[in-house]
Amino acid sequence: MLRFLAPFAVFVALIIFFAIGLTRDPREIPSPLINQPAPTFTLQQLQVPAKQFSPADMRGQVWLFNVWASWCVSCREEHPVFVELAKRNLVPIVGLNYKDQRPDALQWLTQFGNPYVLSVTDFDGRIGIDYGVYGVPETYVIDKQGVIRMKHIGPVTPQILQDKILPKVQELSK
C-alpha cells in the first residue's frame, strides 16, 4: 500500500507547490517600505519649476504617489485610469516624473491629460531609489501620517484600482 501512496503523496505535494508558486509574479518584489514613513525629499515641480514639493505638504490627507515617465510604455496603459480617477475627486494623485526630460514630460501631459495635483521631477532617479522603484510605473498609497500603506508595481488597471487601491484609500480615510 505504502509503495503506491508515497509517490502519490510526493506528487500531490509538488502539484500544490507549483499551483501556488507558478501563479505568483516573480517581478513583484515585496517592498520593505510598507508601513514605513514615506522617504522625504524636496523636489522641483514639473510644471512650475520655481515651486517645490515635499511629502510633508500632504500631511493630513490620504494620497497616491505615482511614478511615471514619458518613455514608459506601461504608463500610457494606466494613464486613462488615473485621468478617470481624478475626475471622481476621490483621492489626490501626486506624480513622480522619473528620469525624464522636462519637455517630453510636459508634452506627454498635454497629449494624454493631467490627472496629477502636481508632478515633481526626479531627473537622475535618486528619489526613485529611495522609494525602491525598479519598474515604472509604480504607485504608492500614503496615509494621513505620511506612512506608505501599499505599493503597486506595474500599471494600475480599473480592476486593481477598484479592488485594491480604492478600498485601501477608503479604509485609511476614515
Nearer to other proteins, 36 or 173 (CB): 36
CB of 153 to other proteins, least distance (A): 10
**Residue number, 13 or 48, with CB nearest to other proteins:** 13
How many other C-beta atoms lie within 10 A of the C-beta of residue 133?
21
CA gap 113, 125 in Å, rounded: 24
- Nearer residue to other proteins within complex by CB, 26 or 60: 26
CB of 32 to other proteins, least distance (A): 4
Residue 17 sits at the vertex; the CA angle it makes with 11 and 21, to the nearest 5 degrees, is 145
Chain positions contacting other proteins, by CB under 8 A? 26-27, 29-33, 99, 124-126, 128-132, 134-135
CB 12 to other proteins: min, Å: 16
Task: Return the C-alpha cell found at 106.
Answer: 510636459
Smallest separation, CB 125 to other proteins (Å): 5
